[in-house]
Chain A
Amino acid sequence: MMFKISWRNVWRHKTRSLIVILAIAVGVWAGIFILGFYMGIMDQRIQDVIKTEVSHVQIHHKLFTQNYHPKFQIKNSRSILEDLNHDARVKRASGRNVSMVMIASANASSGVKLIGVNPDDESQVTVIKDKVLEGVYGFQNSNSIIVSRKLCDKLKLKLGSKVVVTMQSKSNELTADAFRVSGIYKTSNTKYDEATAFVQDEKLQTLLECDDYHEIAILLNSNDDLDPFTTYLSGKLPDKSVESWKDLVPGMRYMVETADQSLGIIMWIILLALVFGIINTMLMAVLERIREIGMLVAIGMSKIRVFFMIVLETVMLVSVGAPIGMLLGYIFITYFGSHGIDLSIVSEGMEEFGYATIVYPTLDFSSYIKVATQLVVLAIVSSIYPAWRTLQLKAIDAIRKI
Chain B
Amino acid sequence: MKNVIETKNLCKTYEGVIPIHAVNDVDLQIQDDEFTAIVGPSGSGKSTLLNLIGGLDHPTSGEVIVNGHDLSEFSESKLIDYRLYHIGFVFQAYNLIPVLTVRENIEFIMMLQKRKKEDIKNRIHELLEEVDLLDKINKRPSELSGGQQQRVAVARALATKPEFVLADEPTANLDSKSASNLLDTMERLNKEESITFIFSTHDQRVIDRARRVVTLEDGKIISDVQK
Chain B residues whose CB sits within 8 angstroms of the CB of A300 once the complex forms? 80-81, 83-85, 109, 112-113, 160
A12 touches B83 (CB 8 A): no
A17 to B47 alpha-carbon distance, docked (Å): 37
B100 interface contact, C-beta 8 A: yes
A300 to B99 alpha-carbon distance, docked (Å): 19
Chain B residues whose CB sits within 8 angstroms of the CB of A12 once the complex forms? 98-99
A299 to B47 alpha-carbon distance, docked (Å): 16
Chain A residues whose CB sits within 8 angstroms of the CB of B91 once the complex forms? 295, 399, 402
A305 to B160 alpha-carbon distance, docked (Å): 18
B77 touches A302 (CB 8 A): yes
Residues 345-402 of A at the B interface (beta carbon under 8 Å): 395-396, 399-400, 402
Question: Which chain B residue shows the least CB distance to A301?
Answer: B112
Which of A2-10, A60-68, A271-279 lines the interface with chain B?
A2-10
B134 to chain A, nearest CB (A): 21
Given contacts A5-B99, A302-B77, contact A396 B56 (CB under 8 A): yes
A396 touches B51 (CB 8 A): yes
Residues 252-288 of A at the B interface (beta carbon under 8 Å): none
A402 touches B92 (CB 8 A): yes
A5 to B100 alpha-carbon distance, docked (Å): 7
Q: What is the 8 Å Cβ interface bit string for chain B, positions 58-90, against chain A (1 contact, 0 not)?
A: 000000000000000000010011011100010
B98 touches A299 (CB 8 A): no
A5 touches B95 (CB 8 A): no
A5 touches B97 (CB 8 A): yes
B45 interface contact, C-beta 8 A: no
B93 interface contact, C-beta 8 A: yes
A291 interface contact, C-beta 8 A: yes
A301 to B77 alpha-carbon distance, docked (Å): 10
A400 to B100 alpha-carbon distance, docked (Å): 23
B132 interface contact, C-beta 8 A: no
B97 touches A291 (CB 8 A): no
A284 to chain B, nearest CB (A): 16
Is chain A's binding surface mostly helix, strand, loop or mixed?
A: helix
A298 interface contact, C-beta 8 A: yes
A325 to chain B, nearest CB (A): 26
A300 to B82 alpha-carbon distance, docked (Å): 8
Option from A1, A302, A402 in Cβ contact (under 8 Å) with B95:
A402
Chain B residues whose CB sits within 8 angstroms of the CB of A302 once the complex forms? 77, 80
B56 touches A5 (CB 8 A): no
Option from B56, B98, B100 in Cβ contact (under 8 Å) with A395:
B56
Q: What is the 8 Å Cβ interface bit string for chain A, positions 1-32, against chain B (1 contact, 0 not)?
A: 10011001100100000000000000000000
A292 interface contact, C-beta 8 A: yes
Question: Which chain A residue shows the least CB distance to B57?
Answer: A396
A297 interface contact, C-beta 8 A: yes
Given contacts A302-B77, A402-B95, contact A5 B108 (CB under 8 A): yes
A297 to B76 alpha-carbon distance, docked (Å): 11
B219 interface contact, C-beta 8 A: no
A298 touches B99 (CB 8 A): no
B202 to chain A, nearest CB (A): 17
A300 to B107 alpha-carbon distance, docked (Å): 14
A292 to B51 alpha-carbon distance, docked (Å): 17
A12 to B160 alpha-carbon distance, docked (Å): 27
Question: Which chain A residue shows the least CB distance to B58?
Answer: A396
Residues 83-139 of B at the A interface (beta carbon under 8 Å): 83-85, 89, 91-93, 95, 97-100, 104, 107-109, 111-113
A5 to B85 alpha-carbon distance, docked (Å): 22
Question: Which chain A residue shows the least CB distance to B54?
Answer: A298
Given contacts A300-B80, A399-B56, contact A295 B95 (CB under 8 A): yes
A297 to B77 alpha-carbon distance, docked (Å): 11
A395 to B80 alpha-carbon distance, docked (Å): 10
A298 touches B89 (CB 8 A): yes
A292 to B83 alpha-carbon distance, docked (Å): 16
B54 touches A9 (CB 8 A): no
Question: Which chain A residue shows the least CB distance to B113?
Answer: A300
B220 to chain A, nearest CB (A): 21
Chain A residues whose CB sits within 8 angstroms of the CB of B95 once the complex forms? 291-292, 295, 402
B89 touches A4 (CB 8 A): no
Chain B residues whose CB sits within 8 angstroms of the CB of A292 once the complex forms? 95, 97-98
Option from B51, B80, B81, B113 in Cβ contact (under 8 Å) with A297:
B80
A159 to B84 alpha-carbon distance, docked (Å): 93
Given contacts A8-B99, A399-B56, contact A299 B84 (CB under 8 A): yes
B160 touches A1 (CB 8 A): no
A286 to chain B, nearest CB (A): 15
B160 to chain A, nearest CB (A): 7
Chain B residues whose CB sits within 8 angstroms of the CB of A4 once the complex forms? 100, 104
Question: Which chain B residue shows the least CB distance to A395?
Answer: B56
A-B contact pairs, 22 of them (CB 8 A): A5-B108, A8-B100, A9-B99, A292-B95, A292-B97, A295-B91, A298-B54, A298-B56, A298-B89, A299-B84, A299-B89, A300-B81, A300-B83, A300-B109, A300-B112, A301-B112, A302-B77, A305-B112, A396-B56, A399-B51, A402-B92, A402-B93
Give 13 A-B pairs besides A5-B100, A396-B57 with Cβ atoms closer than 8 angstroms: A5-B99, A8-B100, A9-B99, A12-B99, A295-B89, A300-B80, A300-B85, A300-B160, A302-B80, A395-B56, A396-B51, A402-B95, A402-B168
Ranked 3 nearest A-B pairs via Cβ? A300-B84, A8-B99, A295-B95
